[in-house]
Structure formats: structure tokens, C-alpha cells
Structure 1
Amino acid sequence: MRFAPPAARRGFALVALATGAASLVLTATVLLRDPLEVIAAVLLVGCAIAAAWAALVHRGRRRIAAAAIAVLALAATAALPDLRAYLWFLVVAALVALSAGATRAALGQASSSAVSRTGPARHGVLLVNPRSGGGKATWFGLADKARALGVEPFELRPGDDLRTLAEQAVANGADVLGMAGGDGSQALVADVARQHGVAFVCVPAGTRNHFALDLGLDRDDVPAALAAFGDAVERRVDLAELNGRVFVNNVSLGVYAAAVQSPAYRDAKAATVVRQLPDLLGPDAQRPDLRFALPDGTRRESADLLLVSNDPYRLKHLSGFGTRERLDAGTLGIVTVTVNRAAEVPALISAEIAGRISRFSGYRSWSAPEFVVDSGRPLIEASLDGEAMRLAPPLRFRILPGALRVRVPRDAPGTSPAATLPSGTRATVVALLQVLGGRAS
């Protein structure tokens, strides 16, 4: 696993602290110099955001009126006499981004679980989905690179059953089973590896590759993951199960799951969501029929979004679903978001933009080894590791602690983004000061 030299970490810590402090000083300076104009700019931008959201969730004349208000609010912001009011936004945003990047570089050294070194695979097999991720496997020539490493590749063809191929590979003596594809394919092959007690290799050849991200793999260097078939690091991670079907990331229910059901979603995600927003979160939209119990035993009849994950996520935004600090916590992560259409939508948007979705009043999160969701409807729309499906209730979730042996390359980053940063601003500043003073591990 890669580690930055101590001197480099101290340099990054210094940059992170300096740029973070500079953004605060700049903000205070502008507020003291032009307080009314800055307040006006913030209010106008907030008005534009709220109006733009209203335009998305309404139809007809109400959509046109809301869109016009959003345009007028933005025009009023641009018409403010002093450019410093919104130049401040740009400079502060740049400083904050630089501080965040330097913080990650300074603190990105943690390892969340016990690992052990292991030798090369005796009979490694790589299953390859050439269509996943827009053809990443073909683009990177993964099959040929696998052969060069002594790994036997099998490329999926139309009509092939992935689970059957994985089972055959194990029956033919594979001691390390790899999958080059998206998270849905990763889950299926990982389940076969779990059932037969063989090690698993994740090759991030899908679109988002959340599992690879939280394993600490470099998603931009897809072929590098093949090194896990050689001298590697092995660890045990959790898997989760929904009605007997394994997933590696999460299952989403509610508005997001409804949007994913559209055939157009895979090729035009943003446009599909925008088109469906009036039906999902508009003032006349019906809430999903999702019945579940809170940790205190209180029964709930609905939530706009319900997310059940294989180990808890650290969420700043609802988009992208964040990352997990560890994959061996031995518990499900459960998040619900409920929105009062009339009063809380602007607050939800503000929390999402600010990266503080957990501060939204309708947000709840907890952990549990098992979780059940029921419904009065015959089928519940779900997105399981990004795959759209409709399932008969009740939905029974459970965690499978330490179920999977995973191999990663010895020089992989080795940590997820959530594991590299402490939770909260104060803890992050303390950790940076410790690195700067040479007291961090």
C-alpha cells in the first residue's frame, strides 16, 4: 500500500491549514467591507436555487413562473454594483477545494482492517464483461493483460450466465476468482467466491465502481488491479444480503429507485431524473409505501428515500451516496430521508449543496445487523448495486460479517476516501496539526 513520505505529508498539512485559514479570513474581510451586498448576493442565489427546484418539480404555468423567478434572481445577482460579492464566491471555492485536496493527501494513510500478505494465485481466473463501463475492459485490453500475468480470462458473450461461468471456474480449480465489470457483476461473482471460500479480485471496469473505491483501489488505473493475482494483500470484508441476494454496496428504495426503473436512465441519468421529478417529489406526488421500524421500535409508513448499505456510509451528499470508512464493521447502514414538499425542499437543497445532508431535519441514520421493509403494494421498486428491479415484500436485509476474502495489489492506495479523513471539521484540524508536528502515525 502506498504511503506518502512524512515530509510530503507535513507539506500537504501546511497547505491544507493555510488555504483553509485563508478562505475564512477572506470571508470575514468581505463581510466587514460589504456586508449588505454579500448578504444580498447570498439571498439572491438562494432564491434562484429554490425557484429552480420549484421549476423542476412542477409542470405547466407553475414551472414557467418558477423558471422566470430563477432567471431574474440570477440576473439581479449579476447586476450587483460590486463584483467583489461574487468574485469572493469563486476565490473561496477555489481555496476550499485546494484545502480539501491537500487534507486528503496529508491524512490519507489510515488502514481500516487487518491485512495479510499472500503469494501469487495458483490458478487465477478473471471474468470479463466487455460491455460494462462503456467498454472499459476492451479499451484497456484486460483479457490480454490477464493472460500475460498467467491469469485465465473468460469474456462474457450475449446469453452467457455469469454465475454459471463463475461456478465452472471454481469447479475447474480456480483458487482466486476475479471480476472485471460493474458493481452488480462484482456482487454476483463475490457471492460465488464466498460460497466456495476462494479469494476474490475486484477489477473496476464498470461505470462508478463504488466497491473498488472503498476497497482503496485506483479506479483510474483499471489494469493495475490485475496485480492482485500476484503478490498481494488479503483482507476479509463484509457482504450484505437482500432476500438471499448478495450486494456489495447498497440498495436504494423510494424516489431514486423509481427513477432507475426508466429504460432511459442508464443512458441519460440527469435528464431522466429531471423529467420524473414532478411525479417523484412534486406537491401532488404520493410518498412511496415503505413500512419499517426505527431503532426505538417506532413504526414508519413511508420515506422518500431509504438506503440500506453493506456497512455504513459517511454521507455529505445524497448524489453519489458517499463512501464507507470501513468494509468490516459487521453492520448494515440505514439512511432515510423524508421531505415535507411545501416547507422543506429549499432546506434539503441547501443541505445538499453545502455537503451537510445529515443536518437536514428529515434525515435519519442508524446501524443494525438486520432490517426489514414491508409494503402494501405487491412489488417494491429497488435499485440493488445500481441494478433496477421490482421485488415482492417483505424485503429482509442482513449483514454477512467477514464473508469475503479480498485481494488487492500491494501498492494500491488501500483506503477509501471516508477512511482518510476524520469526521468533522474540528477533528480534521487536530489531525492536520498532528501531522504538521510530526506526531501522526
Structure 2
Amino acid sequence: MMARYVVRSPAARRGFALVALATGVAPLVLTVSVLLRDPLELIAAVLLVGCAIAAAWAALVRRGWRRIPAAAIAVLALAATAALPDLRAYLWVLVVAVLVALSAGATRAALGHTPARAVSRTAPARHGVLLMNPRSGGGKASRFGLAAKARALGVEPVELRPGDDLRALAEQAVANGADVLGMAGGDGSQAMVADVARRHGVAFVCVPAGTRNHFALDLGLDRDDVPAALAAFGDAVERRVDLAELDERVFVNNVSLGVFATAVQSPAYRDAKAATVVRQLPDLLGPDAQRPDLRFALPDGTRRESADLVLVSNNPYRLEHLSGFGTRQRLDAGTLGIVTVTANRAAQVPALISAELAGRISRFPGYVSWSAPEFVVDSGRPLIEASIDGEATWLAPPLRFRILPDALRVRVPRDAPGTSPAATLPSGTWATVVALLRVLGGRPS
């Protein structure tokens, strides 16, 4: 089940929240009533049922292969509960399974919503143009036959060839009358074509034909179904999203400075991002390593003369890993997300690596995050290593970042998932329960 572009009334969301909480508690109550005769078995059953509920929630809100382990844990937990001596009644197992599924579905209905301020339906493009990078994502454009599928929809495909200037091709498409520009490629290409679209006020279509496609993920697109994004050239949903700018260069996701930007320079990074970052951290943060010269101000005005990592994003991320980044709850909050990480070289490097591997980077003591419409990073060095939407480069300081609110008109298929993972549910089971209680009380989740 995927969240669609559906706006539910507050009353409906309160109803779903009530159902989610009730059906979440019911399996535990039922387990207690069945197992009061055996306290040890009661403890085991409560833990297993709680695990099944949490895993089922996770399975419903994740996408792609990440759903598989969560669903497997839910099934195994229910199976282990059924194997307990006093729980061999198949009817009991069926009731618990149904309650768990209802709780997970109602939770998503109560909390999952499109976070855009304004979403409207729009007519098919009069003259749609799809620009394609055939090398992105290991050749996804060719593998999925995007050119033929675009022509079948009345969209003009334009393939980027060696030596071509992507921005010039996009400008030419607009000059020839395109009212909707699409880009099938990675996030760096998406940013360039999106910038052309926003400068000319034409709508933009993101086709996730790159490697990671963070922008597509946070737009609520299904990254596993690349051709499905072409439907945005037809009857579609349109919304406005923010773009971010670094010294007049637009980016759709983030810019990283410091040790992560150094890791991106490694030839092994593109094929093994997490492994490359973790492998290089001990050397980049070791006692003999030189700390990056990155100078900036904290929200209270305090000046910092260094940091191991500075991440500036187009709207704030919910970060779990530095290597894989996270997702954004929304793309129209009108603010940059800013994260800095500083580690004590002698004592905190193992803790930083552990936090990275465990997906708990935001709990590392040297982690600081805030949001602002503008941000400046200076340095005493002539050039700073940077990664802009995953592309390595060198830039002359000072680096000036700013958000461009509501800069881009984005079209998305009407049957797209519609929400990013961060917008679907809070992080963690307890946070989900708190959010449901807030919705039940008539407050924002």
C-alpha cells in the first residue's frame, strides 16, 4: 500500500489515529489475557508481539529492498509467538496478525500525508521535452527504453551525447516552445535542468534514472519504477518546491564539505559509498590528520574555526548516516538544513564510526544541526573540497548558500507514492506513538 496525493480531513486522521493506537495495544492486551498463567511466557510473548508491531510499521513505510527485512522480522516474531506452548491456537495467531496489519495501515493513514503547501492537478504538457543522460545509473535510460516510451506519450526525447552542454540543450528546448522540461539522470543533472526550468517559469519532471536519486525519493516518486515518472507529462499533480543555491549554482539535495567531500574524491566512492566513507574515516580523522579549515557562525553568532564535516541541504534532512544521507520531510519549508560534525581526534573517532554504522549519527556528541535561509562558509585556504549533489569539485571561499523558496514547479504522476519516507512516519516506535497521540488530540503530528 502506498500513500497517494490524498488530503484527509482532521477528523479522518483522528479516526485513523484512534484505530492505530487501539489495534496496536489490542495484541498486547490479548497476549496478557492468554498468558497470565505463565509470567515468563508472558514476558516473551509481549516482547515478540511488540517486535512484530514495530517491524510491521517499518515494513509499511519503507520502500524497495528495505521492506524485506522488516517484513521478515514481523513474520518471524509472529511465528515465534505462535510456537510458545500456550499459544498454539491458530485463531489467536490470526487475530494478532490482523490487528498488527490494521495498526500499521491506520498509522500510515493517520500520519502519512503530502507535506506540500499547495498541490494542484494539471493538464498534459503541450510540448514536453525529456533530456536523457544515457550514462547515468549504469545506463538506466537505455535499459528502460525511456526514449521510445517518451515518444509514445507525445514527449520529445533528447539524448545527451559526449561533448554536449546539458544546460544549452535545456535552454534550446525552452526556446523551441517546451512548456514542460524533464530530466532522466542523476541529481547533478536534475539540478541543472531544474535551474533552467525555474529561470523560464516552465514546469519540471524528475525521472529517477541516476544512481541514488535523493531528489526523486523526497518528491515521493517510486525510484524502482523509472518509466512510471513519465506519466507526469500527462494528467499530473503539480506543486512548488524550493531549490538551494551555492554562489549562483543551484543544487537540489546537498553540498558537503570536509572529510565527506574528501571521501567523495575517492574512485571507489561511487560503487561503495558507505564502505568507502567508513574505511577512510580513521585516516581522515586520525591524530595526524589535519582538520579541514572551515569557518562559519553558529545560530547564536558564535564563530567556529573548524569542523570535520559541514553539510548544507535544500531543506533539512532526517539524517541516519553520513554516507547514505537520509530523507527530507518536505521540500517547501523555505530553509536550508545545516549540519556540522566535529570529533575529538583522540577519543571520539571510534564513537563516530559506531554511530555511522548503527545509523545513529544524529546522536553523536559532536553533531549540531539547525536551519537558516542563508549560510556562509569561509576558509584560509585558496580552495575547499566540496561535493555538490554527489559530484566532487573544488571551490574558492567564501561559499555563500541561500534557499530559493518555491522556485520550481514540479509535476508528479497522480498515482506516485506522494511522500518521502521522512514525511510518512516519525523516527522510531515511541515517536510514532507520540505523533498518533498528537493527531488524536487535534494537533499537528
Q: TM-score range by the shorter chain?
A: 0.7 to 0.9
The counterpart of 2:339, out of the listed 335, 340, 353, is: 335
Equivalent of 1:417, from 410, 417, 421? 421
Q: Deviations over 1:393-418 (max 9, x none)?
A: 11110111111111111111111111
Q: Does 1:396 align with 2:400?
A: yes
TM-score, structure 1 as length reference: 0.77
1:384 equivalenced with 2:391 (yes/no) = no
Cα distance in structure 1, aligned partners of 2:393 and 2:324: 19
Counterpart residue number, 1:64: none
The 1:350/1:268 distance shift into structure 2, 3 A limit, reads closer
Query: Deviation at 1:348?
Result: 2.8
| 8 Å CA contact retained: 1:17, 1:99 | no
Conserved 8 A contact 1:13-1:435: no
Instruction: State whether residues 129 and 181 of structure 1, in contact with CA within 8 Å, keep that contact through their aligned partners in structure 2.
Output: yes
Equivalent pair of 1:9/1:435 in contact (CA under 8 Å): no
Question: Structure 1 19/215 Cα, relative in aligned 2: closer, same or farther at 3 Å?
Answer: farther
- Is 1:374–2:381 an aligned residue pair? no
Letter in 2 for 1:368: A
Q: How does 1:2-41 map to 2 (within 5 A)?
A: 13=20, 17=24
Q: Give secondary structure in 1 for the equivalent of 2:197.
A: helix
- 1:269, distance to aligned residue in structure 2 (A): 3.4
Q: Which amino acid counterpart does residue 319 of structure 1 have in structure 2? A: S
Q: CA deviation at 1:113?
A: 2.3
Equivalent residue, structure 1, for 2:351: 347
The CA deviation at 1:432 is 4.2
Aligned to 2:58: 100
Q: Judge conservation of contact 1:16–1:98 (CA < 8 Å) in 2.
A: no
Runs of 5+ consecutive residues of structure 2 not aligned to the other structure: 33-38, 61-103
**Paired residue for 1:249, among 223, 248, 253?**
253
Cα distance between partner residues in 2 of 1:402 and 1:291: 29
Q: Partner residue of 1:211?
A: 215
Give the one of 288, 302, 310 matched to 2:292. Answer: 288
**SS in structure 1 of the partner of residue 161 of structure 2:** coil
Taking the aligned partners of 2:167 and 2:403, their CA distance within structure 1 comes to: 21
1:222 alignment partner in structure 2: 226
Equivalent residues of 1:318, 1:352 under 8 A apart: yes
What fraction of aligned residue pairs are identical, expressed as a percent? 82
- Which residue, 185, 196, 202 being the options, matches 1:198? 202
List gaps (5 residues or longer) in structure 1: 26-31, 34-83
Which whole-Å deviations, capped at 9, do the CAs of 1:17-43 have from their partners, x for residues lacking one? 369979xx9xxxxxx98xxxxxxxxxx
Q: Equivalent residue for 1:324?
A: 328
Match of 2:368 among 358, 364, 370: 364
Following superposition of structure 1 onto structure 2, how do residues 264-283 of structure 1 map, counting pairs within 5 Å? Answer: 264-270=268-274, 272-273=276-277, 275-283=279-287
Q: Look up the equivalent residue of 1:314 and give its one-letter code.
A: R
Inter-CA distance 149–296: structure 2 relative to 1 (3 Å threshold): same
Most deviating of 175-184 and 131-140: 131-140
CA-to-partner distance for each residue in 1:171-196, whole Å, 9 max, x for gaps? 00000000000000000000000111
Aligned-residue RMSD, C-alpha: 3.6
Question: Secondary structure of the residue that 2:269 maps to in structure 1?
Answer: coil
Q: Within 5 Å, which residues of 2 pair with 1:126-275?
A: 126-270=130-274, 272-273=276-277, 275=279
The answer (yes or no) to whether the contact 2:28–2:50 under 8 Å persists in 1 is no
Change (3 A) 1:134 1:14: farther
* Equivalent residue, structure 2, for 1:309: 313
**What is the distance in 2 between the residues matched to 1:245 and 1:90?**
51
1:327, CA displacement in angstroms?
0.7
Question: Whole-Å Cα distance in 1 between the matches of residues 51 and 296 of structure 2?
Answer: 40
CA, structure 1 residues 18+218, in 2 after alignment: closer, same or farther (shift >3 Å)? farther
Q: Distance in 2 between matches of 1:161 and 1:120?
A: 28
In the superposition, the TM-score normalised over structure 2's length comes to 0.77
Once the 2 structures are TM-superposed, how far is the Cα of residue 91 of structure 1 from its aligned partner?
10
Deviations 1:316-338 (A, max 9, x none): 33232111111111111100011
Cα distance change on mapping 1:359 and 1:263 into 2, 3 Å: closer
The 1-side partners of 2:286 and 2:51 are apart by 31
- Compared with structure 1, are the counterparts of its residues 206 and 92 closer, same or farther at alpha carbon in structure 2 (3 Å cutoff)? farther
